[in-house]
Chain A
Amino acid sequence: MELSPFYQELFTSLNRGVVMSVALIVPSAIGGVIIGILAGVIRTFGGRFVRAVGDGYAAVFRGTPLVVQLFVIYFGLPNLGIYLSPYVAAVTGFMLCSGAYQSEYVRGALLSIKSGQYLGAQALGFTTFQTIFWIVVPQAVRRAIHGCGNEIIYLIKYSSLAFIVTCIELTGEGKTIATEYFRFTEVFMVIGVYYLLLVTIAMMILKRIEKTLYVPGFGRS
């Protein structure tokens, strides 16, 4: 069966686009989690000043739309003489925004660890480092994994905003074709299916991870 030229072109560009989307999502997700862990730890255990900085960061990036953040980074920073490529601007925005949300889950997870867990470890002669590494981290990971995973799923969807700062990924490629042929319905339905696939795969992976980490009585917070 031969596809019509329209569909041939559509799938070629969308496949190119999805590669770009993945290239945006993966580093942003990793960067977001790293920033989230750092900010979350600072917001939980930091001194008054660093904690205020961490809280401020989270409040700003959670309180403003991601599009606005992307516009400030891509169109705004050149006013200060800072020029970022569309790709770098998009990944920077995604990482910073995602990190702010991730820090909430990390903070919640850390706060949910009962003081008795620390006491129990100390009483056995654990050093501070051993306590963090063997008791706090394994527990916090289990408490945070659901929220952090969901945040990555959000990130997959919000990667569709990259085209607004001219980083042409899945949505951007589709928009070009749709405008060219003026066939928005078909094009965006197909794009929708692409995103559904990405999101569904991510959800399945997340469920797998949650299942492997499952410990009875250690539910989501």
Chain B
Amino acid sequence: MSTGKGNPILRASNITKTFGNNTILHGVSVELAKGEIKILIGSSGGGKSTLLQCINCLVVPDSGEIEVDGMVIDITKKKDLYRLRQQVGMIFQDFNLFDHLTAIDNITIALRKVKKISREQATQRARQELEQVGLGDKQHLYPAQLSGGQKQRVAIARALAMDPKILLLDEPTSALDPTLVGEVISVIKRLAAKGMTMIMATHQMSLISTLADEILFMENGRIVEQGTPSVLLAKGNKSRTRGFCDSLNDLVGEEG
């Protein structure tokens, strides 16, 4: 198992979340070591998205403990939540770029307002990040003028500019046109190669099989299976994960 590498940079333990009568998470625990990549899979409604949003408290858990880089978060304190979110970047399925700001301003506004960095420094940093994701020439375009793949790359640049210790990715390619998925996947792979710590919900087989240090299979608000891809996806393994991934492969196959 790959969880043995030193102290975890993220520890979320026993996260519970209930909406009304509907319990979405039943005491889920996740740990990430520095540089580790874990991938959440499972059919929709299984709690992947809620778990990710609980980790940076966009959805405040009912109970459980969150610890980032040795700092325990008091989820009842707003200050703690703001600090937590600055350290944990998040990529959404539908990008959530600020529609009234250009690509570069989407990045600088967070640097300037949240991190209180000067405009010049923020602009410089934002430019670097945009170039990293191959959008150096699109800095002054507005979200409406960008393709889905470009929007997602801006969103990734925006998150990275905040120097997060961990990146949460919530189905980053699901809202994209099939032809635009590739550009986002390659950006994510480059991040992985640089050693970014990530936890990602995705149905993209190419990401699951090549990036995951560990796969977490979620169902009904619980992690029902976890392990390395080489074990879970091995031929002859009757794991739920393998069955699920086969059905993903079939889908891709049908689509040609």
Contact = CB atoms under 8 A, between A and B. Distances in A.
Chain A–chain B contact at Cβ < 8 A: yes
Interface of A: 116-117, 119-128, 130, 134-135, 138-139, 142, 215-218
Interface-centre pick from A123, A126, A217 (highest chain B CB count, 10 A): A123
A218 to B, nearest CB: 6
Given A124-B85, A126-B114, A138 B100 contact: yes
Nearest to B168: A123
B114 A124 contact: yes
Given A123-B56, A125-B162, A217-B144, A117 B99 contact: yes
A128 to B, nearest CB: 8
A119 B78 CA distance: 15
A127 B145 contact: no
Contacts of B94: 116
A128 B78 CA distance: 10
Contacts of A128: 78
Contact of A125 (B95, B99, B110): B110
Given A124-B114, A125-B83, 7 more contacts: A116-B96, A121-B98, A123-B89, A123-B159, A125-B162, A138-B100, A218-B142
Contact of A130 (B89, B100, B114, B142): B114
Contacts of A123: 56, 58, 85, 89-90, 92, 96, 159
Interface of B: 56, 58, 78, 82-83, 85-86, 89-90, 92, 94-100, 109-110, 113-114, 142-145, 155, 158-159, 162
Nearest to A115: B96
B228 to A, nearest CB: 29
Nearest to A142: B100
Given A116-B96, A120-B97, A218 B144 contact: yes
B56 to A, nearest CB: 6
Nearest to B85: A125
19 contacts: A116-B92, A116-B94, A116-B96, A119-B58, A119-B92, A120-B97, A120-B98, A125-B83, A125-B114, A126-B113, A127-B82, A130-B114, A134-B109, A135-B100, A138-B100, A216-B142, A216-B144, A217-B99, A218-B100
Contacts of B155: 120
B69 to A, nearest CB: 15
Contact of A120 (B92, B144, B145): B92
Given A124-B162, A216-B144, A218-B144, A117 B110 contact: no
A141 to B, nearest CB: 9
B92 A125 contact: no
Given A119-B92, A122-B58, A215 B99 contact: yes
B85 A127 contact: no
A122 B84 CA distance: 11
B192 to A, nearest CB: 20
B92 A215 contact: no
CB-CB nearest 9 A-B residue pairs: A217-B144, A120-B96, A125-B86, A123-B90, A116-B96, A125-B85, A124-B110, A125-B114, A216-B142
Nearest to B142: A216
B50 to A, nearest CB: 13
Contacts of A124: 85-86, 110, 114, 158-159, 162
A139 to B, nearest CB: 5
Given A135-B98, A215-B142, A130 B85 contact: no
Contacts of B158: 124
Given A119-B58, A139-B100, A126 B110 contact: yes
Nearest to B106: A120
B202 to A, nearest CB: 18
Nearest to B145: A216
Contacts of A127: 78, 82
A179 to B, nearest CB: 53
Given A116-B92, A120-B92, A135-B98, A217 B113 contact: no
